[in-house]
Amino acid sequence: MPVISDPLQYNAENVYVDLRATFGRRLYLKCEGFNFAGSVKLKAAAEMVGAAERSGRLLPGSTLVESSSGNLGLALSIVAASKGYGFVCVTDTRCNAPVRAMMELYGARVHVITTPDPVTGFLGARIDYVRSLCAQDERYVWLDQYSNPGNWRAHYLRTAPALAADFPDLDVLFVGAGTTGTLMGCARYFREHRPKVCVVAVDAEGSSAFGRPAQPRLIPGLGTSVRPPLLDESYVDDVVHVSEPDTIRACHRMAADGFLFGGSTGTVASGALRWLAEHRPGKEVTALAIAPDLGERYMDTIYSKAWLNHHYAGEEWLPPHWKLDHLAEPAPSIPTV
């Protein structure tokens, strides 16, 4: 019976879902959403804050500031609340409303960027605002998840060793690419300790992380309009890109079996299944994908009838009961990158 006094003391590390019954092929999902932040980002947040404290950058009276599309911001708001720091999250209009509300509940100030930079998109505009805050007041401490080695080190030290211990016969590992912290931590670990494991990055279509031109995206989480400074492609064996309709389809397929996962998880699952069908057809391998988050914070986007009909009206892949000719409420307008 675990009894804790700090939200960072709880994280259910060893929970896996076998997706064979849903998709007809064995693929294990490592569920990273069973902690008080509801996502894998709690590990990176705790590691980066701890490193800043040890180095003397973060002192009593400091205020953390970070750019985030949602999950890391929520994780940092919990870490800041538990340690007594202020926190400012700089996000944009794609950040889910429930996540913004939770951050504010934990005492964070949330600044929403409404206009993307014409070249670097919302991410560039968010980072510009963070830099302007830090220039105004030395009490602001920017952890910079995009280049902070603590981002990948958290997964090198915790996530990857847990995977290796639970799956000694692992053949293929699929990891989503956002800041690439989770990807690089796991890829570095397996290259050093289990080099025969194939590590496949899963990115969103419209992301420029792996050199493609940036395109509009609606779902926060994976993908970026700027190449991640942490990314070292020499550790990655392959890359698969997933469209947002495929992300949504995977999420709804899993939800139909009672598993409510977030958009990032839908992207990783869809990409993993397609890669396995193309590269390991008819062959049973031990394949594992990291599920970064759960789905309750996506109820007003990928699980919303109004949102889907507004952005994907007429798509044949939508479930019949989700295709509505007349909506009882106006569809929300979600700006793109």
Evaluate if residue 143 carries a pLDDT over 50: yes
Tell me what pLDDT residue 48 has: 97
| Residue 136 identity (one-letter amino acid) | Q
Of 197, 201, 169, 168, the residue nearest 182 (C-alpha): 201
Of 266, 219, 252, 260, the residue nearest 322 (C-alpha): 252
Evaluate if residue 314 carries a pLDDT over 70: no
The lowest-confidence range among 140-154, 209-223, 247-261 is 209-223
What does residue 310 show for φ and ψ, rounded to 5 degrees?
-70, -45
State the average pLDDT over residues 65-87: 94
Each residue of 226-282: pLDDT tens digit?
788 999 999 999 999 999 999 999 999 999 999 999 999 999 999 999 999 999 998
Query: Pairing relation of β-strands 16-18 and 28-31?
Result: antiparallel
Tell me what pLDDT residue 322 has: 54
Report the alpha-carbon distance of residue 169 to residue 15 in Å, rounded. Answer: 17
Tell me what pLDDT residue 216 has: 75
Report the alpha-carbon distance of residue 237 to residue 224 in Å, rounded. Answer: 20
Tell me what pLDDT residue 331 has: 40
The lowest-confidence range among 197-206, 268-277, 303-312 is 303-312
The two structure tokens encoding residue 91: 């996000």
Whether 248 contacts 308, CB under 8 Å: yes
> Residue 92: beta bridge partners?
113
**SS3 for 288?**
strand
What does residue 308 show for φ and ψ, rounded to 5 degrees?
-65, -45
> Given the structure tokens 């902070």, which residue do they identify?
148
State the average pLDDT over residues 7-21: 92
Evaluate if residue 330 carries a pLDDT over 50: no
Evaluate if residue 336 carries a pLDDT over 60: no
Better-predicted residue by pLDDT, 93 or 31: 31
Whether 123 contacts 67, CB under 8 Å: yes
